[in-house]
Structure 1
């Protein structure tokens, strides 16, 4: 066992006994409950917490159950990220980029016959689903190896310490008790309350296993899920249209969000701005007639699509948990927790997307789950730090950021106390295929005085997530403008552009470079 793991789990019952420092529970004593920990939910947060707790000697039971989507889609253990989120999304994003790269290869001298270059949607879906099924299998094996008991059933509270569930046959209900309970059931996509929405539309729960080609698709919603789906559909040769109720990428930096939308429009993705859907009707030819209303002009309109994909947000899955029976307080469809992830009932905790007011991101859920398990069963004290969490929108030019948006920094510190260094740049690999560099842009939001501590970094360009991940650690460590600009960049990369920022917005100078080396 590594020194780190020995230090972290030195108070775990199993480890303490093995290294001769005693056991938390006397061998002759009988546990008060069936399990030390019951986890409700087998997604990123729940699995991370369950496995970490088991590593520390706790007796752990994990419940997981997936209700089919209205379109009939269901999946195995692993939660949203593995089955209908981050993983299949990134794979389809990659498929889209590969198609673009094949066209670019011609400019680089490759002899590519692109007359019939088009994707096989069904083959792509099969490949994605085969990978997901392999991850489901590995997850099951990992739980078994770590001695985490797994029940494929929907667990619900009977009282604060008792969980009730149906057996596999559904003919019998059983009960277990737990010293601690962690709720990590996540969420599912919302549907608008309009005629035809549920019966005729699909969501991100369905698109990654969709058996027929999506064709001309209306994507309703302009959050990161909607924009990502629209972009990989466009890259695969389909014709998406994005319907925007108000603004794109609410909650992100406004300038960067608008640049991203402009990039999509330049690539041929149309937007229906300030528009909401009214109804969806199936026509005689099987296509979908969507009626909609422009809230700014008051005009009504309609159009016909092959597929309608709802991406209007997600709801927490609290309705089946019987939380009132346990006394757990909620805020709408989310659970309220304190800094230690404890709910209004001290021995009941919640982690992941079900928590009110926390970032709905897989890495956040995983780390929060692990840290919680260590506090419960390894004597640790470290709390999850939800500040300065990096994230990426996987569009053709990706947008990645960490820290504050420009608007948030100005709101919290005042415009006179904020300096924004920014610049456009030209990726070297874009020159030969003559790809547009119009929207390749980055900026650093910093304090104006002292060492100019950096409060936020924002980047639109190739492999943005890979670029920002390293800078995220630097920002968490107190990165300053002086340190950033004294760092020698790796040439020719796009990441080095952060080390060359020299123009401030305040100066009014043109942030467009003359060449890749200017």
Structure 2
């Protein structure tokens, strides 16, 4: 998994200037991730063309979901014997085969983008960009060759990079990076001994009742959690194993253990350090380091825009970056005035038991409207496919957060269970359109599915 990595390239599309007052290109997009590609893709589709992959394709959503699927298949093999299949035991997982298959698919996506760019006569520069002035970017390739590019409009879409806790001795030297609970889940699922050190709460920013159910399920299936613990140092032993020392903040004790691999999952930072933004007047948030933009994705410099994970106050999600990039391109070149709507964005955490949600968490709803004005409908349920296999369904749970009024507008929907992403994607449309609890109760469920359990919600938390 550590080999799935890529640098953020620069994408360029435009036509040669007719005179010295014109810039060389109409549009310069810095960054080859989901947002930058989407912005570029719209221009190429509608002005003539198509649009590498960034974090999502190379080291994020795509490889993560494929490895999650590998773990689910392992669970399915265990269930299979209950359904009459003769499966040889024990079943072994081959990491190298899986990793090679995932990398081959990722490389095919990279190659596909490169071919499409070439077919549409799009100029592609694989280099690190830095602003010389507000219309000029100096790019430096790996060999040191410099190229100067000028553009009328510039879009920054360089995304984020994993953060290392550099204050911890040995963190940078001996650690790799990725996403915490999702990685811990699929590593456990393919049979590896996995431990998560957790300093405070799981899945910060998500509904905490749901987050607790996710970690409870992971614990019941073998992932170890060291809660209220903070790592202090990492040392390499003669055996090549890594010895980690941590402090238990609750007990005030110091403990150690050794591991084959240490993975840091302590967040991401905007990849804008080398862009020289200060010199051209692009303002950033001093605390988060993210670029400050308005509703139209414009920075403090009118013709410089920013989209995706590097922007302040935006969800760090691939689909929002894609949508924002597409809408920005339409506003710049397609005579559109439509702005990106960041409300009610659905998402899913691909832990062994998936958690999907859209809208407000229960905590956020209470904070916004007050506890007396919020009604929460909830239920535990057991997926039919769990019954014959005798699988534990203790954490399969649905929660719908509504306004406590006559119409009972749905503020948030939270679902833990199989295929949570598929379930939430369908209900997200209704909630985006202002669906109410009575409307949901008139919706006929598809039987037998997990999603139909949402149409049966009738018990409120308030009822006890």
Corresponding position of 1:293:
247
Corresponding position of 1:516:
none
Distance between the aligned counterparts of 2:283 and 2:421, measured in 1? Answer: 36
1:87-134 superposed Cα distances (whole Å, 9 cap, x missing partner): 00000000000011011100100011122x111111110000000000
Corresponding position of 2:440:
484
Q: Which of the numbers 328, 350, 354 marks the counterpart of 1:398?
A: 354
Q: How does 1:1-16 map to 2 (within 5 A)?
A: none
Q: Does 1:254 align with 2:177?
A: no
Distance between the aligned counterparts of 1:313 and 1:58, measured in 2? Answer: 38
Distance between the aligned counterparts of 2:357 and 2:107, measured in 1? Answer: 31
Q: How does 1:325-336 map to 2 (within 5 A)?
A: 325-332=279-286, 333-336=289-292
Distance between the aligned counterparts of 1:227 and 1:110, measured in 2? Answer: 31
Q: Check the 8 A contact 1:37/1:59 in 2, yes or no.
A: no
Corresponding position of 1:464:
420
Corresponding position of 1:178:
151
- Residue 284 of structure 1 deviates from its aligned partner by 0.8
1:401-439 superposed Cα distances (whole Å, 9 cap, x missing partner): 000000111110111111000000111110011000100
Q: Does 1:154 align with 2:128?
A: yes
- Residue 59 of structure 1 deviates from its aligned partner by 10
Q: 1:167 to 1:112 in 2, by over 3 A?
A: closer
Q: Which of the numbers 327, 339, 356 marks the counterpart of 1:371?
A: 327
Q: Which of the numbers 435, 459, 463 marks the counterpart of 1:503?
A: 459
Q: How does 1:35-74 map to 2 (within 5 A)?
A: 35-57=25-47
Q: Which of the numbers 119, 124, 133 marks the counterpart of 2:98?
A: 124
Distance between the aligned counterparts of 1:479 and 1:59, measured in 2? Answer: 38
Q: Check the 8 A contact 2:131/2:275 in 1, yes or no.
A: yes
Query: Which structure 1 residue ranges, 4+ long, deviate > 4 Å from structure 2?
Result: 27-31
Query: Please, what TM-score do these two structures have when normalized by structure 2?
Result: 0.94
Q: Check the 8 A contact 2:158/2:310 in 1, yes or no.
A: yes
Distance between the aligned counterparts of 2:224 and 2:177, measured in 1? Answer: 20
Q: Secondary structure at the match of 1:118?
A: coil
Q: Secondary structure at the match of 2:246?
A: strand
Distance between the aligned counterparts of 1:465 and 1:319, measured in 2? Answer: 34
Corresponding position of 1:78:
53
The 10-residue stretch of structure 1 (347-356 or 160-169) with the greater mean CA deviation from structure 2: 160-169
Distance between the aligned counterparts of 1:469 and 1:268, measured in 2? Answer: 29
- Residue 166 of structure 1 deviates from its aligned partner by 2.2
Corresponding position of 1:302:
256
Distance between the aligned counterparts of 1:168 and 1:101, measured in 2? Answer: 45
Give the number of equivalent residue pairs. 447
Q: Which of the numbers 393, 413, 422 marks the counterpart of 2:378?
A: 422
- Residue 502 of structure 1 deviates from its aligned partner by 0.7
Q: 1:109 to 1:31 in 2, by over 3 A?
A: farther
Q: How does 1:281-360 map to 2 (within 5 A)?
A: 281-332=235-286, 333-360=289-316
Q: Check the 8 A contact 2:379/2:399 in 1, yes or no.
A: yes
Distance between the aligned counterparts of 1:99 and 1:426, measured in 2? Answer: 20
Query: Please, what TM-score do these two structures have when normalized by structure 1?
Result: 0.84
Structure 1: stretches of 5+ with no match in the other structure: 1-13, 15-24, 63-76, 205-224, 509-518
Q: 1:59 to 1:101 in 2, by over 3 A?
A: closer
Q: 1:346 to 1:82 in 2, by over 3 A?
A: same
Q: Secondary structure at the match of 1:331?
A: coil
Q: Does 1:279 align with 2:233?
A: yes
Distance between the aligned counterparts of 1:394 and 1:450, measured in 2? Answer: 35
1:275-322 superposed Cα distances (whole Å, 9 cap, x missing partner): 111100011111011001112221111111111000000011111101
Q: 1:304 to 1:153 in 2, by over 3 A?
A: same
Q: Secondary structure at the match of 1:113?
A: coil
Corresponding position of 2:391:
435
Q: Check the 8 A contact 2:41/2:49 in 1, yes or no.
A: no
The alignment's C-alpha RMSD in Å is: 1.8
Distance between the aligned counterparts of 2:46 and 2:386, measured in 1? Answer: 50
Corresponding position of 1:8:
none
Q: Check the 8 A contact 2:358/2:414 in 1, yes or no.
A: yes
Q: Check the 8 A contact 1:49/1:370 in 2, yes or no.
A: yes
Distance between the aligned counterparts of 1:90 and 1:449, measured in 2? Answer: 39
Corresponding position of 1:109:
84
Distance between the aligned counterparts of 2:151 and 2:458, measured in 1? Answer: 58
Q: Check the 8 A contact 1:36/1:59 in 2, yes or no.
A: no
